[in-house]
Structure 1
Amino acid sequence: MGSGFATHLTEFAGLEILDFPAGPGLPLPAGADRDGPQAWRLDAASGLDADPVLAFGELLDDFLARVDTARVAALVVGRWGFELIDVSDGPVGATLAARADRLPALRALFVAELTSDECDVAYLALEPVTPVLEAFPGLEQLWVRGTAGTGLSGEEQPLLAPIKHETLCTLVFQSGGLDPLTMRAVGACEFPALEHLEFYFGEPRHGGTGTVADVEWLLPGDRLPNLRHLGLRDSMVQDDLAVAVAHAPVVAQLRTLDLSLGALGDGGAAALLAGQPLGHLVKLDLHHHFLSAQMQERLRQAWPGVEIDLSEPQPDGDEWGRYVAVAE
């Protein structure tokens, strides 16, 4: 089974990522003084040979004191403290929100960009990121890796609460088991500018029990009028999702449709072939699948002008032997 995310990003929001040193007094990296917008990674163990010595709030304050934040357009948050379950100085989203006035140029944020060696994505429990959207009305991209924690009340809570945000263009939830509450919560939000949306469903045994019912609000296309990229990925019910989108009005407005990383078989592909024409798409991403060679060829011939990614075919086409690419 897929092990998740093996390497760190080197670019984010079109910018090369600079690593802020977590040790007080360590020198800033080359390029820290360059003009123009910058992207930075904040990781509590960056540049250290030992375990983190700063909690995230302390690391962020050191960053704000040493870097020209008027040029910080993008932030990538990695490990945020002594242990990933430690939010004693406040959850990451709330900690950033409390210092929003110090980050006037922030347009893109990635929360919990950890590798699988640092923490399996299925066990990467996060607090809600709603405070980020509330505090940064100009944010354009929000990427979140992990799953919902239980919160102080001990009850499961979605990673996002219903909110209106005028400028958000990209929203991505990467998870080994995304809770359905988060998918439904996105449907209750108002994101008039949203162009790019991705959900990693993950495995039911890790909480990824989402079904078509949890994204049914997406299908008519009226909730997100500017949506151009839709990713319903990494799902054990990938065939059901393919059946749902085959005739969904939202597909007509898309440029890319992504049903990759999941348990897609010939039944789901046949539904796509029998559904609405997909010749308007620039790309149809189906990589990591359980399609027969005959079905793959039918797909290639169906829409010759569309880039169709059929890479990473999996060996077992038996419905009961299928698996998702990202689970732990």
Structure 2
Amino acid sequence: MSYVQHARNFHGLPVLTVPPYTPATLLADAASVAWRLQSGPYPTDEDSDVCWERFTGTVELEKVRALVLGYGMDSVSRLTDLSSRLTGLEAVFLGDIEDEEEMISSIGQSDLAPLLEAFPGLRELVVRGGAGLEFPVAGHPGLRALRIESGGLPPQVAENVAAADLPSLERLELWLGDDWYGGGTTVEQLAPLLAGDRKPALRHLGLQNSPIQDELAAAVATAAVVPRLTSLSLSMGALSDQGAEALLHGQPLTHLAELDLSHHFLSEEMMLRIWTALEPAGVRVNLIGKQERDEEEWEDEDEEDGADGRYIAVAE
């Protein structure tokens, strides 16, 4: 299974690619779908200017609730230029690009502050790719869901997200990624997030796809934010028995509705201990293990693994 795929649904709406790939007869209700724009990646594909012109010329922009921007689409600057017309915009997905189009480590992003400033009513933001990404945002009053998917999230971005005042934020997922691809976030940089003071509405937290998953698990085990959560994800990373032991000896997790530890490196004995501790309390525990990599594909990639052969789910 690839973790990096095109969105089929976004913000509770089906994703619909703008013409010429969609019949014009389906354009009637602009609020009923999440509009997807894409201009590539092949030379025969229309360029981004043509795609934007078709979208802005055929769709009632004031009714658009959600936008998904794929390969080749200028994103933040285009959106801010249209802010006076996209008055009902609630959700944006930047970088809806699959592996076959471009590897996640190569997906370029930019400063997100102008976007959040231009759309104070934005409720959901998903960003795929960490190259060039910046988040110098002190706060945003209305954002309820933020997910950043990356094979290497710039540590300053993670630190800024952790420190931002986001009083309405209910869901936060950060794919922290590997140092090799620009990651390197430390537990200390996430301290304001784990303290919980600046995101009082937070109910789901995902600290995912990290080579320091054991350290994150140990920090979560005593974090003040955890008792208010209904779901927690420490998936996609290099979690071992050491990190799981910290979770079991930390604060109770029996109040959670779901704990996602998928793509882990746990022993069968440890999986049984976690299951026994949490399942009887009604916690849905995802313990699907790591995917086995193709040996030929990865035979030259050993430097990305830890010394014990553990690896994250999404890097390159």
Aligned counterparts of 2:149 and 2:31: Cα–Cα separation in 1 = 29
Match of 1:225 among 164, 189, 200: 200
Aligned counterparts of 1:315 and 1:291: Cα–Cα separation in 2 = 14
Match of 2:140 among 165, 169, 172: 165
- Asked if residue 261 in structure 1 is aligned to residue 236 in structure 2, the reply is yes
- TM-score (norm: length of structure 1): 0.86
Gaps of 5+ in 1: 82-90, 150-157
Match of 2:113 among 113, 130, 141: 130
State the partner residue of 2:45.
52
Superimposed CA distance per residue, residues 52-95 of structure 1 (whole angstroms, 9 cap, x where no aligned partner): 3323x5532331111122321100000125xxxxxxxxx52122
Gaps of 5+ in 2: 294-304
Given the superposition, is the C-alpha separation of residues 29 and 294 from structure 1 closer, same or farther in structure 2, using an over 3 Å criterion? farther
Given the superposition, is the C-alpha separation of residues 27 and 145 from structure 1 closer, same or farther in structure 2, using an over 3 Å criterion? closer
- Deviation of 1:187 after TM superposition, in Å, equals 2.8
Given the superposition, is the C-alpha separation of residues 93 and 36 from structure 1 closer, same or farther in structure 2, using an over 3 Å criterion? closer
- Asked if residue 43 in structure 1 is aligned to residue 38 in structure 2, the reply is yes
- Worse-matched range after superposition: 200-209 or 265-274: 200-209
Aligned counterparts of 1:290 and 1:315: Cα–Cα separation in 2 = 11
State the partner residue of 1:71.
63
Q: Tell me, yes or no, if the aligned pair for 2:143 and 2:169 is still in contact at 8 Å.
A: yes
Higher relative contact order (CA 8 A, sep 6+): 1
- Deviation of 1:10 after TM superposition, in Å, equals 1.1
Aligned counterparts of 1:235 and 1:27: Cα–Cα separation in 2 = 38
Q: Tell me, yes or no, if the aligned pair for 1:148 and 1:159 is still in contact at 8 Å.
A: no
Q: Tell me, yes or no, if the aligned pair for 2:89 and 2:121 is still in contact at 8 Å.
A: yes
Aligned counterparts of 2:125 and 2:140: Cα–Cα separation in 1 = 12
State the partner residue of 1:141.
124
Given the superposition, is the C-alpha separation of residues 59 and 252 from structure 1 closer, same or farther in structure 2, using an over 3 Å criterion? same
Match of 1:188 among 163, 171, 179: 163
Matches within 5 A, 1:18-33: 18-21=16-19, 28=23, 31-33=26-28
Q: Tell me, yes or no, if the aligned pair for 1:11 and 1:17 is still in contact at 8 Å.
A: yes
Matches within 5 A, 1:269-288: 269-288=244-263
- Deviation of 1:315 after TM superposition, in Å, equals 6.8
Q: Percent identity?
A: 41
Given the superposition, is the C-alpha separation of residues 307 and 70 from structure 1 closer, same or farther in structure 2, using an over 3 Å criterion? same
Match of 1:97 among 70, 80, 84: 80
Superimposed CA distance per residue, residues 253-289 of structure 1 (whole angstroms, 9 cap, x where no aligned partner): 1001000000000000000000000010000000000
Given the superposition, is the C-alpha separation of residues 30 and 322 from structure 1 closer, same or farther in structure 2, using an over 3 Å criterion? farther
Aligned counterparts of 2:157 and 2:195: Cα–Cα separation in 1 = 19
SS at the partner of 1:173?
strand
SS at the partner of 1:76?
strand
- Deviation of 1:132 after TM superposition, in Å, equals 1.1
- Asked if residue 8 in structure 1 is aligned to residue 1 in structure 2, the reply is no
Given the superposition, is the C-alpha separation of residues 73 and 35 from structure 1 closer, same or farther in structure 2, using an over 3 Å criterion? closer
SS at the partner of 1:41?
strand
Count residues in correspondence. 303
**C-alpha RMSD of matched pairs (Å):** 2.2
- Deviation of 1:190 after TM superposition, in Å, equals 1.8
Letter in 1 for 2:114: P
SS at the partner of 2:66?
strand
Q: Tell me, yes or no, if the aligned pair for 1:4 and 1:120 is still in contact at 8 Å.
A: no
Superimposed CA distance per residue, residues 117-157 of structure 1 (whole angstroms, 9 cap, x where no aligned partner): 111001112111221111111000000000132xxxxxxxx
Given the superposition, is the C-alpha separation of residues 218 and 226 from structure 1 closer, same or farther in structure 2, using an over 3 Å criterion? same
Letter in 2 for 1:296: M
State the partner residue of 2:15.
17
Letter in 1 for 2:71: R
Superimposed CA distance per residue, residues 164-218 of structure 1 (whole angstroms, 9 cap, x where no aligned partner): 2111000111001001010111133221101111110111110111121221111
Q: Tell me, yes or no, if the aligned pair for 1:197 and 1:231 is still in contact at 8 Å.
A: yes
